[in-house]
Chain A
Amino acid sequence: MAEAQTETPPSLSEQYSLKEKAEKSDVATKVADAEEVENSASTSSKEVVTEEVETPAPLVESTEVPPAVAEENTEANPVAENSVEDAQVAAEESNERTKESSGDAEETPEIKLETAPADFRFPTTNQTRHCFTRYIEYHRCVAAKGEDASECDKFAKYYRALCPGEWIDRWNEQRENGTFPGPL
């Protein structure tokens, strides 16, 4: 595994570093309202792609939180016809969860049907690099914004959804030893 990942083409990392910088400048301009950031962290790929569009109006989004989340849920699952009620419930649940995740994790976890979105960079069956990229993205994000930056939570969710736990453990170990074979 480690051997396979060592030949990461430089073009890929350059691509991401550019994207990271663009995102960073965007994020730096906006006020880090805790709740608003939590919401953006728990959204799907639509938001990741159109982040530049949505950042100019953070106030609007924070005022109408439940409908926004409900819309995203229906977008994420267009097949589910009964998703309107579910989405309302899920929206409330997600609000609860954002509060409790900032508190302690001992309470009963709320189940929300949400996972890493389909990524246009990885349209094929082989998702190995998708997992690896999300892991790197998270750690670059943490390196850029600090350990407890809540913008990075979505990347953490994505790589945990995609990567097998065994791989994550090994990579964490490699990062501690300084032998991680990737651009961090």
Chain B
Amino acid sequence: MIVLEWLFLTIAACDAAEPWQLGFQDAATPMMQGIIDLHHDIFFFLILILVFVLRILVRALWHFHYQKNPIPQRIVHGTTIEILRTIFPSIIPMFIAIPSFALLYSMDEVVVDPAITIKAIGHQWYRTYEYSDYNSSDEQSLTFDSYTIPEDDLELGQSRLLEVDNRVVVPAKTHLRIIVTSADVPHSWAVPSSGVKCDAVPGRLNQISISVQREGVYYGQCSEICGTNHAFTSIVVEAVPRKDYGSRVSNQLIPQTGEA
């Protein structure tokens, strides 16, 4: 275990950031899978270019030597190489751009009707979540605040500065619409495993549509400097099976209707 930790190969049970993490978190949505695939696609070209450029650079440095090559070559023109070094650098960005734009627009597009709308409203420094699909009046609403658990109150096994008191419960394998907005300063609602990072701007409603493919607890943090407690404004999404979601929500709705 310690050896694994030396190699930065810690085994984490949850979809949260881990110490010295270099790669992505596991994908929970098709969107994040697409992002990871695009990253790998681009890295193919990146490595290719890196190796090629390094080879030229090192070779030039190696041979430019006053003893081995006292008289350097004085080529200033070369039609063939000029054509090649113009054509190839213009083709390679095309190979990067095509998958990149495809992913960009597929992430933006809302193809299917979502089944649930959740409103994530950023505050200094907590988040309010509203589930208003089940309302029958303007007053009644399933609304709760989600605060980060302070360091002193953490229980064993909870992640520092990631755990919150009220998690956002969403059904898995369902199309969700998340409306992100803010009540004071710009915030950002980001959950890396679901490939979501959406700015919360006061006076504006930003929509993201995700579909979480597996049950689990996903952690994220505020991603826009929003003030003193920016670092203490975390996000926890808990994906549960559809059946459980219904009972969770109706259990929370009963006291709400009792008050109203």
Residue numbers of A with Cβ under 8 A of B are: 1, 4, 44-45, 76-80, 82, 86, 101, 105-106, 108-118, 123-128, 130-131, 157, 160-166, 168-169, 172
Contacts and interface: CB of A to CB of B under 8 A. Distances in A.
A118 B112 contact: yes
Contact of B257 (A45, A105, A111, A127): A105
Contacts of B204: 126, 128
B34 interface: no
Given A45-B113, A110-B250, A172-B138, A125 B132 contact: no
A62 B257 CA distance: 31
23 contacts: A44-B113, A79-B174, A80-B174, A86-B242, A105-B140, A106-B257, A109-B257, A111-B249, A113-B116, A113-B174, A113-B245, A115-B133, A117-B113, A125-B206, A126-B204, A127-B207, A157-B133, A157-B135, A160-B135, A164-B183, A165-B130, A165-B143, A172-B138
Interface in B189-225: 198, 203-208, 211
Interface of B: 108-117, 119, 121, 130, 132-138, 140-141, 143, 171, 173-175, 177, 179, 181, 183, 198, 203-208, 211, 242, 245-247, 249-250, 253-254, 257
A126 B205 contact: yes
Among B121, B207, B208, chain A packs the most CB atoms within 10 A around the CB of B207
Contact of B253 (A79, A109, A118): A109
A74 B220 CA distance: 32
Chain A at the B interface: mostly helix, strand, loop or mixed? Answer: loop
Contacts of B177: 115-116, 118
A114 B183 CA distance: 26
Nearest to A44: B113
A101 B257 CA distance: 13
B115 A114 contact: yes
A77 B115 contact: yes
A161 B132 contact: yes
Contact of A118 (B113, B119, B203): B113
